[in-house]
Amino acid sequence: MARPAKDAPVLLRLDGITKRFGALTANDGVCLDLKQGEILALLGENGAGKTTLMNILFGHYVADEGAVLVSRDGGEPAQLEPGSPHAALDARIGMVHQHFTLAENLSVLDNILLGTEKISALKSARTPARSKLEDLMTRSGLTVGLDMRVSQLSVGEKQRVEILKALYRDARVLVLDEPTAVLTPQESDTLFAILKKLAAAGLGIIFISHKLAEVMASSHRIAVLRGGAKVADLPTDACSQRQLAELMVGHEVSETVRDARTPGATLFILTGISAGEGREALYDVDLDLKSGEILGIAGVSGNGQTMLAQVISGLETPVAGEMRLEGSAFSHANARMMIDAGLARIPEDRHRDGIVGAMTVSENLAIETIRKPDCQRFGLLRFTAMRDKAKAMIDAYDIRCQGEDSPARLLSGGNIQKIVLARTLEGEPKVVLAAQPSRGLDVGATSEVYRRLLDARARGAGVLLISEDLDELMRLSDRIAVIHRGHLSAAEPTETLDRGTLGLRMAGHTMEAAE
């Protein structure tokens, strides 16, 4: 990949940034330079402090020590006023946050205009803004309908709006916090093509990612954080994926492999399930899951996976069809009946469906077993028992937090996922429904998730793995079925499939050929 010139000016300098939250040091004396035209990838485990560092750079947080220096119009870097996003924007820093910061009730155009005009102006100058944006969209290749309400956009489109927001303000430094975590593989490719174009045009870009392949393919330089401190800063050509994984985690990461196993009896069956309507509907879905196997459901998100997961977890009643777990029918089940029958789920949107942010880690860990005797007696909660159990789970699943009593919302994204995982697998469920289980997880945590899912399989549980990551599917699943526009293909053994055919089927090709 074309590198920026050796003598390219430094756009941005982080100088000894330290940030503490109580006893926890989230950033520990981090120094970092970004040159014009450079794409820098920032790596690190979940909770390593990547988002915190970027939030300091953008003024959301104030560093306890250290300074952010920015060069304005090619001059020497000068200190940026701490704690002011306004100052950061003024210095032409653009930020795409890990969680979208869009007003859903406004149009795309208004979201981009927000804050760019004088607040006392008597009229919003939409017309000139629109033509500037149209120009920007053709030049960058980021196209979105400007008059759409943000609530109607797909995640990929929202991502584009976030980048457009930064470009509209003529950003010279663009920071993207896990931009590809929720994008489909195709959308990610497009995004990186755009980023390379922008870097070639002179922007400095920092992006955070857990996907080592895309980091290797699309960055000039890689910085690694571990426990809040910078442990490596290398040109991309000089590192390998294996070496990066080790740098992040601090020890060697073992590859998880699926051993050969003969699956047991059929455990869970769906016959002729139809549910929902519109984009996320399901049509006549058949599926059978055996004990001791992992069944992969491949598909680009938005093809009915969410509805499938809802139906299976008892959150949505199908309009037709039948669902059987170990022989008993569950077509009009609710979530509690499914949990009692031995189903456990890892929801796709863990912030919304997985945790209660205001409740503590130990309460979140106990939430699905709250009616069992080890959590309550005579209708009263047993807090000491819950806490002890939480401590054990925090150790076993390596959940990084300030203790079992801290509110769950304070945890980093990856660690929230570990809470959900620990809770899901703790009760030794018969069927595990895992929707995008490694989304947003670091390499260490991902291999941990894989290991746990394979353990569940070895124990005789049936695992339904919904994912759009082909590597993950090929590595873990015994059989794979493809979901496209609400239709589920028949599952085939993984050995008989390859990435190419799966990719084509996910895009809907074989369906037509078969007819």
Partner 1 sequence: MSDILEIFMSASFWAAAIRIATPLIFGVIGALICERAGVLNLGIEGIFTAGAMAGWMAVWLGAGLWGGVLVAALAGGFFGLIHAVLTVPLGLSQHVSGIGVTLFATSLSYFIYRTALPDVSSPPRIEAFQSLDIPVLSDLPFLGPALFQQTPLTFLALFLVAATAYVLYRTPLGLAIQAVGDNPAAVESQGLSVYGLRIGAIVAGSAIMALGGAFLTMSAFDAFFFGMVNGRGWICIALTVFASWRPGKALLGALLFGAFDAFQVRLQTEVGSFIPGQVFLMMPYILSIAALIVVARRADYPRALLVPYFKGQR
Q: In 3D, which of 316, 312, 310, 424 has the Cα closest to residue 364? A: 424
Lay out the sheet containing 24-35: strands in order across: 24-35, 10-21, 65-71, 77-79
Distance of CA 286 to the CA centre of its chain: 29
Judge whether 467 and 474 are in contact, CB under 8 Å.
Answer: no
DSSP annotation string for 137-181: HHHH-----TTSBGGGS-HHHHHHHHHHHHHHTT-SEEEEESTTT
Of 2-61, which residues contact partner 1 (CB under 8 A)? 55, 58, 60-61
Residue of 412, 424, 438, 494 that binds ligand ATP (CB under 6 A): 412
Nearer Cβ to partner 1 (116/241): 116
Six-digit token string for 355: 């945790």
Q: Does 52 bind ligand ATP (CB under 6 A)?
A: yes
At residue 305, the 3 state secondary structure works out as helix
Residues 397-436, one symbol each (x = binds partner 1 by CB under 8 A, - = not), give: ------------xx--------------------------
Q: Per CB under 6 A, which region of 187-195, 349-357, 404-412, 503-511 contacts ligand ATP?
A: 404-412
- Residue sitting closest to Mg ion (CB): 51
Residues 313-352, one symbol each (x = binds partner 1 by CB under 8 A, - = not), give: ----------------------------------------
In the complex, the smallest distance separating the C-beta of residue 298 from ligand ATP, rounded to whole angstroms, is 25
Q: Does 411 bind ligand ATP (CB under 6 A)?
A: yes
Q: Does 102 bind partner 1 (CB under 8 A)?
A: yes
Q: Per CB under 8 A, which region of 87-95, 198-206, 210-218, 458-466 contacts partner 1?
A: 87-95
At residue 409, the 3 state secondary structure works out as helix
Residue of 9, 85, 302, 460 that binds partner 1 (CB under 8 A): 85
Of 384-403, which residues contact ligand ATP (CB under 6 A)? 400
Q: Does 110 bind partner 1 (CB under 8 A)?
A: yes
Nearer Cβ to ligand ATP (29/503): 29
Looking at residue 353, the DSSP 8-state letter turns out to be I
Q: Does 414 bind ligand ATP (CB under 6 A)?
A: yes
Six-digit token string for 145: 């309908």
**CA gap 268, 172 in Å, rounded:** 54
Binding site for Mg ion (CB under 5 A): 51, 98
Total number of residues binding partner 1 (CB under 8 A)? 39
In the complex, the smallest distance separating the C-beta of residue 156 from partner 1, rounded to whole angstroms, is 18
Cβ neighbour number for residue 115 with a 10 Å cutoff: 12
Residue of 11, 14, 17, 26 that binds ligand ATP (CB under 6 A): 26
Q: In 3D, which of 420, 470, 469 has the Cα closest to residue 449? A: 420
E-assigned strand segments in 204-304: 204-208, 221-226, 229-235, 266-275, 282-290, 294-298
Q: Does 46 bind ligand ATP (CB under 6 A)?
A: yes
**CA gap 158, 176 in Å, rounded:** 13
The identity of residue 159, as a single letter, is: Q
Q: Which residues bind partner 1 (CB under 8 A)?
A: 55, 58, 60-62, 83-86, 88-90, 95, 97, 99, 101-106, 110-111, 113-124, 165, 357, 409-410
